Amino acid sequence: QVQLVESGGGVVQPERSLRLSCAASGFTFSTSTIHWVRQAPGKGLEWVAVVSTDGKTTYYADSVKGRFSISRDNSRNTVSLQMNSLRPEDTAVYFCAKARGGDCSSVSCYRVLDYWGQGTLVTVSA
Amino acid sequence: AIQLTQSPPSLSASVGDRVTITCRASQGVSSGLAWYQQKPGKTPNLLISDASRLESGVPSRFSGSGSGTDFTLTISSLQPEDFSTYYCQQFNDYPLTFGGGTKVEIK
């Protein structure tokens, strides 16, 4: 079965860095686009970043552009999110999620999320 | 970035009611819209993609419609397990964006 397991969350001071990891199993990782989505406590979903299957193409939300960096290692079935210059407003549960794949005649193949990890909590506080 | 506005932010309904949630995009997204259900403490579950395509395993009481800027998620007969928060997501362009959510509560 599909599994996505996030790790690396914790409490960090503002302006410090943190690196999240997402370990994947149960599907063909190397052909799956992977996203990060976050959810602040009691709030809605916010898309954060995406990495293409070969790791060469990435996109970011405006709120994290220039501070966060997404990457992947297809040999280890992992995706990482390097978060620098963290701010209190980055406090959230961070989910990794896989894009649905399948019929790629539609961009939904790459941009609609069919499996999500359970998330890892990042708290940015002095 | 494309903004998505969901309405209402919350609603109260009874089992068996027909429920409609709307999602309006700040610019056209063609049919690039998905709907997710999230129960408290759980991860989102994909219900509908491409505005109206029901995902495998999703009950047929759920349906989606619309294109361009105006979209609707309809639950034809609300069941106890449907009390959740629903989110729309546009995937027509990056950055991807989500609506603010609609919480469906028991009346």
Q: CA–CA separation, B39 vs B29, rounded Å?
A: 27
On average, the pLDDT of chain A sits at 96
Cβ of B95 within 8 Å of Cβ of A62? The answer is yes
Mean pLDDT of chain B: 97
Q: Which amino acid is at A24?
A: A
Chain B residues near residue A37 by CB distance under 8 angstroms:
98
Using CB atoms, pick whichever of B36, B43, B96 lies closest to residue A111: B96
- Name the residue in chain A with its Cα closest to that of B42: A118
- Write out the residues of chain A at the interface with chain B, using a CB-CB cutoff of 8 A: 35, 37, 44-47, 50, 59-62, 95, 100, 106-108, 111-114, 116-119
Using DSSP, state whether A57 is helix, strand or coil: coil
Res. A102: pLDDT tops 80: no
For B69-83, the pLDDT digits (tens) are: 999 999 999 999 999
Structure tokens at B14: 């009874």
Query: Does the beta carbon of B94 lie under 8 angstroms from any beta carbon of chain A?
Result: yes
Location of structure tokens 């941009």: A111
In the prediction, which pLDDT does A18 show? 98
Residue A72: CB atoms within 10 Å: 23
pLDDT digits (tens, 9 = 90+) for B5-55: 999 999 999 999 999 999 999 999 999 999 999 999 999 999 999 999 999
Residues in contact with A29: Cβ distance below 8 Å, sequence separation at least 6, in sequence order: A74, A77
Q: Chain A closest CA to B14's CA: distance in Å?
A: 24
Q: How confident is the model at residue A55 (pLDDT cuts 50, 70, 90)?
A: very high
Decide if B36 touches A, using CB distance below 8 A: yes
Which residues lie below 8 Å from residue A117, measured CB to CB, with a gap of 6+?
Answer: A3, A4, A5, A6, A22, A95, A96, A97, B43
Nearest CB to A47: which of B55, B98, B101? B98
